[in-house]
Amino acid sequence: MRKIYRIKLSAEERSELLALTRKRNAAAHKVLKARALLLCDESEDGEGAKDPEIIEKTGIAKATLQRLRQRCCEVGPVDALERKKQEVVSRPRKLDGEGQARLTALACSDPPEGCARWTLSLLSEQLVELEVVDSISRETVRAELKKTSSSRG
């Protein structure tokens, strides 16, 4: 199959990738991609290895190598090592800043009569009663409270 995206690294880009592969505290996925890009390099200093050889040496999948080549051509070799940010958030957050503040204030207030303390179920029910949200699970309440440094006692 003909290569659509060809990698030709400058001396500076090549030295950056080499330095990254030699770092001891670099993320493994970055080091692996940097090694693959160095093997793909078709410039004077590069190896210009064939895809099967690169796959054998690095252990990455063929599709991953093709996407890496494409990304390298689109955004540059150093930026291609970074994970792509999610363009669209999977699901909107239940509580915005104001909702989080209301939840924290509620959790720090006195519990309802007949209860020794606020439970996650009581907090989620109270948020629905106060019309902060339409519905909310106990897990969401727990996760939001965990983000704050407040203690429910």
What's the whole-model pTM score? 0.60
pLDDT above 90: residue 31: yes
* Beta carbons of 83 and 29 less than 8 angstroms apart: yes
pLDDT band at 149; cut points 50, 70, 90:
confident
Count the neighbouring beta carbons within 10 Å of the beta carbon of residue 62. 12
The Cα–Cα gap between 38 and 43 comes to: 10
The Cα–Cα gap between 77 and 33 comes to: 9
Domain boundaries in the chain? 11-80, 97-146
pLDDT band at 150; cut points 50, 70, 90:
low
